[in-house]
Structure 1
Amino acid sequence: MELHSMKSLPHDDSKKKGPIAWMAGHSVTANLLMLVLLVGGFFLGYRIKKEVFPYFELDRVRITVPYPGASPQEVERGIILAIEEAVQGLEGVDEVRSSAKEGVGTVTVEMIEGENLQKLGQDIQSEVDRITSFPEDAEEPRVVIVARKRFVVSLALYGDQSEGVLREYAEYVRDRLLQDPDITQVELVGVRDYEISVEISQDKLR
């Protein structure tokens, strides 16, 4: 007769110590945790800002000064050089680029990455306001933070009407759309500026 000794293997309890095993043993707590996560997810989802075409800034500030009737050389001497000297030493300025065209001067200031764009815009506005050497015929400088927007909807108006009637109706639609607090900008494109025509008979010109 042969005797066989049998030894029981040690029971491995490590498999019961994982998160799944814990949830299986605490079903009420697991269900409550899942409910909290679902409610929190829905709540945060409605609060997240959503934009189809997002608005974003380009880390640039643009200064534009109209100077009617001036040549590019006059714009450079009277407008561009004064602005460049005023903004060149400001904190946060990375690069200054200028453009002098007939009747208008433009200076674009690029910001160092990580700086405060709003503060830089305010500093540039203050420095430009201190400039007293602009020509008398130069108009008020415009300082704006360059931003890019993409349109969401394009609406076309057409019909068997004159250009003036279509423009008036387009302006009416624009004004109605701007009454909606969720709409911040509506632009008219494809329309010509108004012109004034003065006709005098040749007899009165003599």
Structure 2
Amino acid sequence: MRKIIAYFIKYHVAVDVIIIAFFIFGIFGANALKSSFFPLTESKNVLINITYPGASPQEVEEGIVLKIEDNLKGLQGVDRVTSTSRENSGSINVEIEKGRDIDFMLLEVKNAVDRVPTFPTGMEPLVVSKLEAVRQTIIFSISGNDIPLVTLKQIGRQIENDLRAIEGISQISISGYPLEEIEIALDENSLLAYNMSFNEVAQAVANANILVTGGNIKTNSEEYLIRANNRSYYGEELNNLIIRA
């Protein structure tokens, strides 16, 4: 150690050269260092999206979800399978074990789905994809005194459209307001006068708001999906609804 110290004292120019070299290499190393404010994490989930227009949650589960889950049983590399069945749609989340290649497991899940012998007529093609990890970047709120909730929602939608036009933004979600719904109030005396029941009115409203598929038409270059969409989205559209002819 004494010899090294004595050498540096005697040849101080060499010490300066070494320090400058370390400084230069440090600058190059810092510029080449990869960093990210929001580092990407590899996905470990495969998502199966189901679209079945006009189907109830039970029909989605029994006709599609359970069949796919049966084929996923025993598939090596799968840690857990969870599913959700909703009206007209459903989803299956396949969690992959650590250390497994997500691209290979995506192919394995697709093959398992393709092995299902039959699906209900009228369902749209299944979408099997990797569930990308999304992190929240910015959260902000919109508020105002004596401003109706509908107006705040319209402002939020406008801001959402403006943000979607910006390149680099992958996902935007709006929350904080209730879902819109149509409320139909009935006069009990009028129902008695016309000899009608609540169930009869409810059935008439349901029959007037349908979304069902009628199959598809295939050509050499395209495929057309036939769908009957007779839903009402505003209360005014139900004013002239015929309950009984």
Does TM-score exceed 0.5, indicating one fold? yes
TM-score of the superposed pair, with normalisation by structure 1: 0.67
2:81 maps to what in 1?
97
Greater RCO (Cα-Cα under 8 Å, separation 6 or more): 1
User: Within 1, Cα distance between the matches of 2:150 and 2:40?
Assistant: 33
1:138 maps to what in 2?
123
CA contact (8 A) 1:55 1:150 kept: no
* Structure 2 spans left out of the alignment, 5+ residues: 182-232
Seq. identity, %:
20
Aligned counterparts, 1:62-73, within 5 A? 62-67=47-52, 68-70=54-56, 72=58
**What count of residue pairs does the alignment treat as equivalent?**
188
- How many Å apart are 1:123 and its aligned residue? 3.9
User: Within 2, Cα distance between the matches of 1:62 and 1:201?
Assistant: 43
2:103 maps to what in 1?
118
1:34 maps to what in 2?
22
SS at match of 1:61: strand
Aligned counterparts, 1:1-206, within 5 A? 14-17=1-4, 21=8, 24=12, 26-45=14-33, 47-51=34-38, 54-67=39-52, 68-70=54-56, 72=58, 74-88=59-73, 92-99=76-83, 101=85, 103=87, 104-125=89-110, 127-128=112-113, 131=116, 133-159=118-144, 160-191=146-177, 192-193=179-180, 195-197=233-235, 198-201=237-240
SS at match of 1:152: coil
* Structure 1 spans left out of the alignment, 5+ residues: 1-13
TM-score of the superposed pair, with normalisation by structure 2: 0.59
**1:176-202 deviations in Å (ceiling 9; x for gaps):** 223333432221112435733223348
2:207 maps to what in 1?
none
- How many Å apart are 1:204 and its aligned residue? 9.1
CA RMSD after TM alignment: 3.6
Pair member with larger Rg: 1
